[in-house]
Amino acid sequence: MLYGTKRGNGGNFERRPKGTVWKRLLCGIVATVFASGGIAFAAERPNIVWIMAEDIGPELSCYGHPAVHTPNIDALAADGVRFARAFTTAPSCTPSRNAMMLGVYQTRTDTQDQRRRGVVLPPHIKPITYYLQQAGYFTALGCGYSNKTDLNFEWPHLFDGNDWKDRRPGQPFFAQITLWVTHRQPSGWAKDWIEVRRRSPHPVDPEKVVLPPYYPDHPECRLDWARYLDAIEYIDAQVGEILARLEREGLADDTIVIFCGDNGRCHLRCKCWLYDGGIHVPLIVRIPGEKGGIVRDELVSMLDVSASVLAFAGIPVPEHFDGRPLWGPHAQRRDCIFAARDLIDDVDDVIRCVRTERYKYIRNYKPHYGYREPPYVEQNRPMLAVMRRLAAEGKLNAAQRLLLAERKPPEELYDLKRDPFELHNLADAPEYREVLDDLRARLDRWIEETGDTGLARLNDPSEQTRSD
């Protein structure tokens, strides 16, 4: 395996070889969890480390991306399970993290907006850390990295401490660690993408990157994408640090490691939007004693990871959870996933989607908003200025002009097998009417079953955050 060497910041990008793959000593632990619903002795319960990288898509070498070098995450995948089709329930961090922490869609709990604090949870809804604490786990936040939670609700004792080292001897732990460098920062921050690239001894070559077709092949766009990949390599070094610490402290064989993104990549038509670029994230799970190098291609909601965390700890998954464990007798293969976009900063857009393996249906409740971006995006997306300039010069093709349209269609339907970049809207195509009707009905049922709080506010003018 390859691990980063500098504790806590990953900034030197150094990597060193680290012996052989760790040995499997606890082969029966996870099997016991799923067979019995719990483990009799605290010492037998696995530790769980959940690493969330901010604003990251599956642009990793283990996912087949050629221009980026991610040996530590690749090693984790080689020793674990890589999920090819994992999706968040929202395209921005706050609602996505609320859903993962609570195990239910953010639209069930009125936590669907970006940083609208003070939400009071229904009495039966509790964070996953509550259940872990009740089961005797020490819950840690940050562990030398970011202690971000970004939740819209208040909870009196969400975590027990800031590092697993503070637990009692022999006490199992759950740690949530956020790696934030892939979150694009305003220029001048200590670790903005420009600075990360400057410090990298092997910056990604802009000439080798492959841009999605909805971006123009322009030097500034290539450089911006390369900076994103530089940030991913920085994250990879930090993952190596965490894995090295687990091994150094003799915890690797007792610890399940989860690596994922909290939402999609921090680029145009990605974060903030329900296209795959905004909700498709990497997900890798390493379970001691389980065979590594496995790739699973079923649809996964990140809510399933929340349920899996409890199952790993031997805790029965609450009936109200919208996710189900990815392993064991209660695992259920999904035939679709759902996601929602609501208020982000001062843009109170409302969008819902349902995605199957083959098709995606998007419903835009405010098509007149067009592709309006919040100030954070306006100020920190170099590609946006480039595209506006090229549009004024008549140099964008039809796919690239989509980003600048003044209106969105009320409905969008994409055949993801034929059109993976979601460029050709089939909602008005007669030959796809049966598919459209099916996905409309699925989305309607989901909205009704979850009591969508975002749509309830949309339909109550007195509750709207922004007027139209």
Tens of pLDDT, residue by residue over 73-122, are: 999 999 999 999 999 999 999 999 999 999 999 999 999 898 887 889 99
More confident of the two residues 409 and 5: 409
Structure confidence at residue 459 as a pLDDT band (50, 70, 90): confident
pLDDT (tens digit per residue) in 348-373: 999 999 999 999 999 999 999 999 88
Q: What is the pLDDT of residue 215?
A: 97
pLDDT, one tens digit per residue, over 231-262 is 999 999 999 999 999 999 999 999 999 999 99
* Distance in angstroms (rounded) separating the CA atoms of residues 91 and 83: 18
| Residue labelled with tokens 């002009």 | 401
- Enter the CATH code of domain 351-461: 3.30.1120
Percent of residues, the chain, with pLDDT higher than 70: 88
Tell me what pLDDT residue 186 has.
Answer: 60
The per-residue pLDDT for 185 is 72
pLDDT over threshold 50, residue 267? yes
- In the beta sheet, which residues pair with residue 307? none
Q: According to the model, what pLDDT value does residue 464 have?
A: 53
pLDDT above 90 covers a percentage of the chain that reads 76
105 by Cβ neighbours in 10 Å (0-12 / 13-18 / 19+) ranks as buried
Spatial separation of the C-alpha atoms in residues 204 and 232, rounded to whole Å: 10
Q: What is the pLDDT of residue 2?
A: 42
Instruction: With cut-offs at 50, 70 and 90, classify the pLDDT of residue 468.
Output: low
Reported confidence tier of residue 446, pLDDT bands at 50, 70, 90: very high
DSSP 8-state symbol, 412: E
- What is residue 33's predicted lDDT score, i.e. its pLDDT? 39
Measured CA to CA, the distance from residue 106 to residue 407 in angstroms comes to 26
Q: What is the structure's pLDDT at 201? A: 81
Stronger pLDDT, 463 or 192, i.e. the higher one: 192
pLDDT score of 466: 46
More confident residue, 149 or 21: 149
What Rg value do the Cα atoms of the chain yield, rounded? 22
* pLDDT surpasses 90 at 150: no
Query: Residue 13 pLDDT more than 50?
Result: no
pLDDT band at 442 (very low <50, low <70, confident <90, very high): very high
The pLDDT of residue 17: 34
Instruction: Return the residue matching tokens 């329930």.
Output: 89
Domain with CATH 3.30.1120 in the chain: 351-461
Nearest alpha-carbon partner for 69 in 233, 255, 234, 190: 233
- Rounded mean pLDDT, 388-398: 97
Which pLDDT does position 451 carry in this prediction? Answer: 95
Q: Other C-beta atoms within 10 Å of 328: how many?
A: 17
* pLDDT of 165: 97
Angle at 18 between CA 15 and CA 20, to 5 degrees: 145
Average pLDDT, the chain: 88
201: Cβ contacts below 8 Å, ≥ 6 apart: 13
Place of tokens 């592709």: 371
**pLDDT, mean of residues 297-312:** 98
CA–CA distances in Å: residue 359 to residues 246, 335, 353, 366, 431 = 41, 11, 11, 22, 14
Give the CATH superfamily of 2-334: Alkaline Phosphatase, subunit A (3.40.720.10)
In the structure, what pLDDT confidence band is assigned to residue 460 with cuts at 50, 70 and 90?
confident
Question: Which residue spans of the chain are classified as CATH 3.40.720.10?
Answer: 2-334
